[in-house]
Amino acid sequence: MVKQLVAVFLAAILTENYVLSKFLGICPFLGVSKKVNTALGMSAAVTFVMVLATAVTYPIYENILVPFGLEYLQTIVFILVIAGLVQLVEIILKKYMPPLYNSLGIYLPLITTNCAVLGVTMLVLEKAAQDPSYTYVTALVNAFGAGIGFLVAMVIFAGVRGRLETADIPKSLKGLPITLVSASLVSVSFLGFAGLVEGLMG
């Protein structure tokens, strides 16, 4: 059980990295990875919302949508739940935890339309359908791992972009193109993890 959870967690970070191998959440990955501390704040907010969204949408799907045969409403229900949840978290943080709101709050509106959050909530259900040993707890661990994977990718990339600022770049590659090429190189390094988790966990 614990072994399975560790394997799911590591796989979500390294081999199934949401940004670098599933291409979810590319907009914040390119948009807010300029400085390490904004990258950290954004990823912390994303991780928080990912776990919370999975915690809410998983039971909704299993206990409301499936028994009533409404699986086709998944997309519309999930996006509304996530949008409502993000608003709620923003209001609660603002009222009761102002310091946390000041550090994470500005990232929250960006997260509603972040495809990584919606992607996680749907992918864990897809996995749960294929594997009977996949439970609610596994889904939560998977969502947490996905968030940490996002954080790892963002922080590594923020570091790479810091180096780019002083580099001499050909004129037509300046700006977005060179950012994408460096993302490609960071992604190559994550290819090296392929098969690692299966190897470690047997």
Q: Which of residues 70-89 bind other proteins (CB under 8 A)?
A: 72-76, 79-80, 83
Of 8, 20, 49, 85, the one binding other proteins by CB under 8 A = 20
Choose, by CB under 8 A, the member of 2, 129, 167, 176 that binds other proteins.
Answer: 176
Q: Calculate ∠ Cα 27-30-31, nearest 5°.
A: 75
Helices H / strands E in the chain, number of each: 10, 0
Question: Phi/psi class of residue 195: alpha, beta or left (left: φ > 0; alpha: ψ in -120 to 50)?
Answer: left
CA distance 53 to 77: 12
Pseudo-torsion of CA 180, 184, 189, 194, nearest 10°? 130
From the centroid of its chain, how far is CA 125? Answer: 15
195 binds other proteins (CB under 8 A): no
Residue 50 interacts with other proteins (CB under 8 A): yes or no: no
126's tokens: 């897809």
Closer Cβ to other proteins, 2 or 130, answer by number: 130
x/- track of binding to other proteins for residues 111-130 (CB under 8 A): -xxxx--xx--xx--x----
Q: Which of 64, 185, 200, 201 binds other proteins (CB under 8 A)?
A: 185
In this complex, which beta carbon is closest to other proteins, that of residue 59 or of residue 109? 109
Neighbours of 135 (CB within 10 A): 15
Binding site for other proteins (CB under 8 A): 20-27, 30-32, 34, 38, 42, 72-76, 79-80, 83, 106-107, 109-110, 112-115, 118-119, 122-123, 126, 172-181, 183-185, 187-188, 190-191
